[in-house]
Amino acid sequence: MSMSHPPDPDAEDAVNGENSEAGSEADLLTHYDILRLRAPNPGPVTLSGTNTWVVGRRPAWVVDPGPLIEEHLTRLYAAVDARGGLGGAVLTHDHRDHSEAVDPLVERYSAPIAGGRGAVDVQLGEEVRFGPFEAVATPGHAADHFALVADGACFTGDAVLGEGSVFISPYRGAMAGYLLALTRLRLREDFNVLCPGHGPPVWDAHTKLEEYVGHRIDRENHLIVALGEGARTVSELLGAVWSDVPEQLRPLATATLAAHLDKLEEEQILPTGVERPRFERTEW
């Protein structure tokens, strides 16, 4: 990948701190002129914290400014200043841990915002370009979710994580749309690394995408077997298919179960009498 401006590691020493990648990973990200800032919001869902990505320089572009935490904003401002200002900020999706900091960031630098919905300057859609990024629709985790491809890297937000798996929101078409999106990403040849919303970068990008598709299909196959053996309640299905999920993550597993059941219903292979998880349907 060619870069119009060489990296300036000394200018970024002040912002890296514990957020920088260790050893060879840092060197690899430097070749792509990408900086990862990890927000101090670790938890069962956010893992080690939400990733904010700063891409390029003169100007820099920010993917997912992150949560509204002063420490994180301070590091982000320093990174953008070190890279010659802000060209714009783009959201993979509008969940709070990815989007809360976008308003103060773009107001500080008078820069545009791009996203899949809401009060944005540029509305993302399939193949819409914003700065160096090309948007790729990746619904499933959220209806407004987009991956962003730029100069050999794919910023996957919560469609693909650096470790673990994602929950799928229970809106109609979510699971089928998600699997199609992963398959479409696998067929692309314009990126080598995945830069996820949580967890470390993934250098074996297409293998990870294959693993994600395989994981979802494996869950679905186990669900079909459980249904075939007579499981009908939410509790029975979770116990049969998601027994490995910690108790604190059961609500997210329940949402994903609902998305799988929707898919089976859409394909007209869902047995009668299956209890469906009860919550307000939303295009999260």
C-alpha to C-alpha distance for 219 and 260, rounded to whole angstroms: 9
Residue 29 has what pLDDT?
77
Q: Over pLDDT 90: what percentage of the chain?
A: 81
Where is average pLDDT lowest: 7-16, 54-63, 169-178, 254-263? Answer: 7-16
Give residue 14's pLDDT. Answer: 39
Q: Give me 251's structure tokens.
A: 């609500």
**At residue 19, does pLDDT exceed 60?**
no
Q: What is the pLDDT of residue 248?
A: 87
* 24-28, 156-160, 242-246: segment of lowest average pLDDT: 24-28
pLDDT of residue 31 exceeding 70: yes
Calculate what percentage of the chain has a pLDDT beyond 70: 88
Q: Are strands 122-123 and 146-150 parallel, antiparallel or unpaired?
A: unpaired
For the chain, domain boundaries? 9-215
CB 150 within 8 A of CB 55: yes
pTM of the model as a whole = 0.89
In the predicted model, what is the mean pLDDT of residues 56-60? Answer: 96
Give the tokens for residue 109: 């630098």
Q: CA 109, 145, 257: angle at the middle one, nearest 5?
A: 145
CA nearest to 165, candidates 132, 126, 208, 124: 208
pLDDT, one tens digit per residue, over 61-108 is 999 999 999 999 999 999 999 999 999 999 999 999 999 999 999 999
Please say whether the beta carbons of 154 and 92 come within 8 A: no
Helical pair 174-187 and 250-266, crossing angle rounded to 10 deg: 90
Q: What is the mean pLDDT of residues 40-68?
A: 96
Highest mean pLDDT pick, 5-14, 241-250, 256-265: 256-265
pLDDT tens per residue, range 137-148: 999 999 999 999
Q: Give every CB contact of residue 79 below 8 A, 6+ residues apart in sequence.
A: 12, 15, 35, 37, 54, 60
Fold of the CATH domain 9-215: Metallo-beta-lactamase; Chain A (3.60.15)
Q: Give the model's pLDDT for residue 130.
A: 98
Closest CA relative to residue 32, chosen from 75, 61, 11 = 61
Residue-wise pLDDT tens digits, 117-139: 999 999 999 999 999 999 999 99
85 or 164, greater pLDDT? 85
pLDDT of residue 171: 87
219: part of which helix (H) or strand (E)? helix 205-228
